[in-house]
Amino acid sequence: MEFTRRDFIKNSFFFGSSFLFSPISAYAAVKKEIEWIPAYEKLEMEGKLAQKVKQAYAMFENCQLCPRKCGVNRLKGEKGFCRSPVNPVIFSYHPHFGEEMSIVGGKGSGTIFFSNCNLRCVFCQNWPIAHEGRGKEVQDEDLADMMLKLQGIGCHNINLVTPTHVMPNILNATRIALKKGLHLPLFYNTSGYERLEILKILDGIVDIYKPDMKYMDSDKAAKYSAGASDYPEVAKKAILEMHRQVRVHKLDKEGVAIRGLMIRHLVMPNRVAGTEKFVKWVAEALPKNTYVNIMAQYRVEYKAYDYPEIARGITIQEFLEAMDWAEKYGLTNLDPQSVALRNFYHHHRAN
Ligand code: SF4
């Protein structure tokens, strides 16, 4: 069944008017006793979530959801740079164990892989999904059901991978799922290429942000991410806003992430990612205990073979110098797996 804008507005009114009689308001007092509740649930209790969903959905008419600002009317079937239709296209959803330990916990991160992408890097490791858009188009109600299934099998969070171009669908689906009992942190797993105006809509909805910081130099960003020369400046502002909203990485009693900012930075060959500038910037612009994952797993994928500078994996030395810079600039909350890998290489070299 097609979910039209009219349906959406009708739905919004339904949710809006039903709020007074909603089970959410009825059990709000009981919830006070519970230590943690998702940000979006608090917003719903304050009666503000419906308006955010409406505001986000209106953006589809003249799509400026990301810095590409295509201006297409996705409600009428027009497609912009990301090639995304108005409905979300989903490649897969399942518990995922390949994220940071605090995200994975014991039962996995409830990951939803959205197809298409607004950045489209030449070295993309998910290129069949991000570039070719492989996946299945679904309705927001289906997306809500996926969130609930992931919760049902015990996942610790709803991990939204490449969410930027489908943010309105995510908000609508979250609200639908909330009405049916969703009670997990919303984890926004993004390339970092985000507009401030859009992040303001997400304020009070997202619990955990995990942006990439891919490059610090605009010429590299333009060359390897489809002309996105503004990426470094855009991503830096976006990360500061994310930190303003959710502050530093916070764990529950079991050591599972429930809130905060986690930054990912992939070390690239030949210092393409500008790692020293990156760690220096974090140390100066954010608290030193900001969670930073310096990743060693760059591999030559998709069109990276056509670019000699990035047509090889990184060396051990390139990874170690990245970790040394992080230490030199005083970062104190590095991803434990990166630290373990650094220690392993140091130990290996010493023996
Ligand atoms: S989300 Fe897609 S259509 Fe909208 S501005 Fe970004 S690239 Fe363009």
**Residue of minimum CA distance from atom 4 in ligand 1:** 63
User: What confidence tens digit (pLDDT) does each residue in 301-315 have?
Assistant: 999 999 999 999 999
Report the residue among 74, 75, 84 best suited for mutation to probe ligand 1: largest number of ligand atoms under 8 A from its CB.
84
From the alpha carbon of 164, which atom of ligand 1 is closest? 1
Pocket mutation for ligand 1, best pick of 61, 70, 73, 119 (most atoms within 8 Å of C-beta): 70
pLDDT digits (tens, 9 = 90+) for 264-300: 999 999 999 999 999 999 999 999 999 999 999 999 9
Mean pLDDT of 11-36: 43
What is the pLDDT at residue 350? 73
pLDDT score of 11: 39
Q: What totals of helices (H) and strands (E) does the chain contain, helices first?
A: 15, 9
Question: For ligand 1, is residue 69 a contact (CB within 6 Å)?
Answer: yes
Residue 102 CA to ligand 1 centre (angstroms): 31
* Probe target for ligand 1 pocket from 79, 165, 197, with the most ligand atoms within 8 Å of CB: 165
What is the 297 CA–ligand 1 centroid distance (Å)? 28
Q: Is the CB–ligand 1 distance for residue 204 below 6 Å? A: no
pLDDT > 90? residue 175: yes
Residues 329-344: what's their mean pLDDT? 97
- Residue whose Cα lies nearest atom 6 of ligand 1: it is 66
Atom in ligand 1 nearest the alpha carbon of residue 118: 7
Instruction: Give the mean pLDDT of 309-330.
Output: 98
Name which of 158, 209, 166 is nearest 185 in CA terms. 158
pLDDT at 348: 81
pLDDT (tens digit per residue) in 153-170: 999 999 999 999 999 999
What local confidence, expressed as pLDDT, does residue 12 receive?
36
Percentages helix, strand, coil for the chain, rounded to the nearest 5?
45, 15, 40
- Closest ligand 1 atom to residue 79 Cα is 3
Q: What is the pLDDT of residue 13?
A: 33
Q: What is the mean pLDDT of residues 115-132?
A: 96
What digits encode the pLDDT tens for the residues 31-79? Answer: 444 578 999 999 999 999 999 999 999 999 999 999 999 999 999 999 9
The finding on whether 120 has its CB within 6 A of some atom of ligand 1 is: no
Q: Is the pLDDT of residue 174 over 50?
A: yes
Between CA 267 and CA 264 the distance in angstroms is: 10
The two tokens of residue 347 are 């130990």
pLDDT value of position 349: 77
Cα angle, residue 137 at apex, residues 133 and 142 outer, rounded to 5°: 135
Q: Is 70 in the pocket of ligand 1 (CB under 6 A)?
A: yes
pTM: 0.89
pLDDT at 106 over 60: yes
Q: Could you identify the atom of ligand 1 that is nearest to the CA of residue 74?
A: 3
Distance, CA 231 to ligand 1 centroid (Å)? Answer: 15
Residues in the chain, overall count: 351
Residue 5 has pLDDT above 50, yes or no: no
Q: Which residues contact 90 (CB under 8 A, 6 or more apart)?
A: 112, 113, 114, 115, 135, 136, 138, 143, 146
Q: What is the pLDDT of residue 347?
A: 85
For the chain, what is the mean pLDDT? 91
- Per-residue pLDDT, averaged over 168-179, amounts to 98
DSSP string, 153-181: TT-SSEEEES-GGGHHHHHHHHHHHHHTT
Task: Look at residue 4 and tell me whether its pLDDT is greater than 80.
Answer: no
Q: Does residue 48 have its Cβ closer than 6 Å to ligand 1?
A: no
Query: For the residues 166-195, what does the mean pLDDT come to?
Result: 98
